[in-house]
Amino acid sequence: MEQLAYQYQTSQPISKRVHVGVVGSGDLEILMFPTDKSESTVKVRTGSDGFDKVWGNVLTRFFDRYPISADIVINDFGATPGVVYLRLTQAMEELADEK
Amino acid sequence: MKFAHDIVRFNQAVIQQRELVRQLALSKQVFGVIRRGLPSQPDLVPIGLRGIARNQRFALEIPTTAIQAIIHPWEITKRESFRAAEIAQFPVYEQYHVAQKILAGFKWGVGGSLGFELTSGIQAIKPTSDFDLLLYANAPTEIPLSVIIKNRLFFEQFDTQVITLKGGFALKEYLRTPDKKILLKTDTGPILTKEIWS
């Protein structure tokens, strides 16, 4: 079990809490909370050790595309980078969903 | 027919990576788990071999013709492990026994290390092993929803994957947001979709 932390300077506040994904084999859950700051913090709790750099790459790619400001918690259970990116995309769809 | 999570038996002579055979101390009869995915050639099957350590998996492909037997996860749900007394108190084994009672009559299966042990007779589960429950359903009505609701706390304890003709998804995600896109693991990779049935 490893805890990783990342920080990004961002510009687009989110307006609501979002929860996508599940803690299950090869999957992960993402929680996003609104913040007043112009930055995003990401805490990754992962069962697969030694993927610090891979996480950094996936998150940097994500924030380059979506510079949202939020406090984000990711609980990972061995998801592949492909699944991680799908779940992040799903969180963005949730944010855009008016319901 | 072959599906992801099925276990296949084959002769270790077909494994070209001889180093792997030594490393895993494979006996003549090898059991592998069919992986979800498309093979690089139509006459091959993508499988995974279990390592000694937890989460250790070795992916490879074997020729379809090398398969001597296919065991589906739903065919082993009445079996007991060859060391049933020794593992009777393991949470995974206790959960399996509960599932046997409450899911009688439904099409369900056991994956993961327990499914492997029940199928192969090779020691695989540990006190910390997770119970991997598989529910086979081709329509929403085929999910044993009343059983799940009645035993909500039981189903909270482990991962249940629902297997449809299109792929597999997490029961927990489906129950939380049945009308939204969910993650479906398909042969061509994971996708977010509402088209989970057919």
Same structural domain, B82 and B111: yes
Instruction: Domain count for chain B, please give it.
Output: 2
What pLDDT does residue A57 have? 94
Residue B124 CA, distance from chain mean position:
13
Is B142:B156 a contact under the CB 8 Å cutoff?
no
Separation of alpha carbons A95 and A83, rounded Å: 18
Could you tell me if A82 lies within 8 Å of chain B, comparing CB atoms? Answer: yes
| Tens of pLDDT, residues B56-110 | 778 999 999 999 999 999 999 999 999 999 999 999 999 999 999 999 999 999 9
Q: Is B141 on the interface with A (CB under 8 A)?
A: no
Residue at a domain's end among B21, B44, B71: B71
- pLDDT, tens only, B150-174: 999 999 999 999 999 999 999 999 9
- The whole-angstrom separation of Cα B1 and Cα B104 is 24
ipTM of the complex model: 0.84
Last residue of a domain, one of B17, B36, B71: B71
- pLDDT value at position A98? 64
Range of the domain at B50: 7-71
Between CA B159 and CA B161 the distance in angstroms is 6
- Closest residue to B172, CB basis, from A22, A82, A87: A22
- Per-residue pLDDT for B2 more than 90? no
Query: How far is the alpha carbon of B13 from chain A, nearest alpha carbon, in Å?
Result: 30
Residues with Cβ within 8 Å of residue A67, at least 6 apart in sequence: A8, A10, A11, A12
Interface membership of A50 toward B (CB under 8 Å):
no
Residue B139 burial by Cβ neighbours in a 10 Å radius (0-12, 13-18, 19+) = exposed
Three-class DSSP category at B52? coil
Q: Which of B128, B156, B163, B183 is the best residue to mutate to test the A interface, defined by the most A CB atoms within 10 Å of its own CB?
A: B183
Across the interface, whether the CB atoms of A22 and B55 are under 8 A apart is answered no
Structure token digits, residue A23: 């803690």
Q: For B183, which of A27, A47, A78 is closest by C-beta distance?
A: A27
CB contact under 8 A, B159 and A21: no
A78 interfaces chain B, CB cutoff of 8 Å: yes
The DSSP code for A23 is: S
Token pair recorded at residue A15: 């307006």
Fold of domain A2-96 = Ribosomal Protein S5; domain 2 (3.30.230)
A25 touches chain B (CB under 8 A): yes
If one counts every other C-beta atom within 10 angstroms of the C-beta of residue B15, the result is 20
Quote the mean pLDDT of chain A. Answer: 93
Q: Is residue B1 part of a domain?
A: no
Ranges of each domain in chain A: 2-96
Residue B198 lies inside a defined structural domain of this protein: no
Q: pLDDT per residue over B50-65, tens digit each?
A: 876 656 778 999 999 9
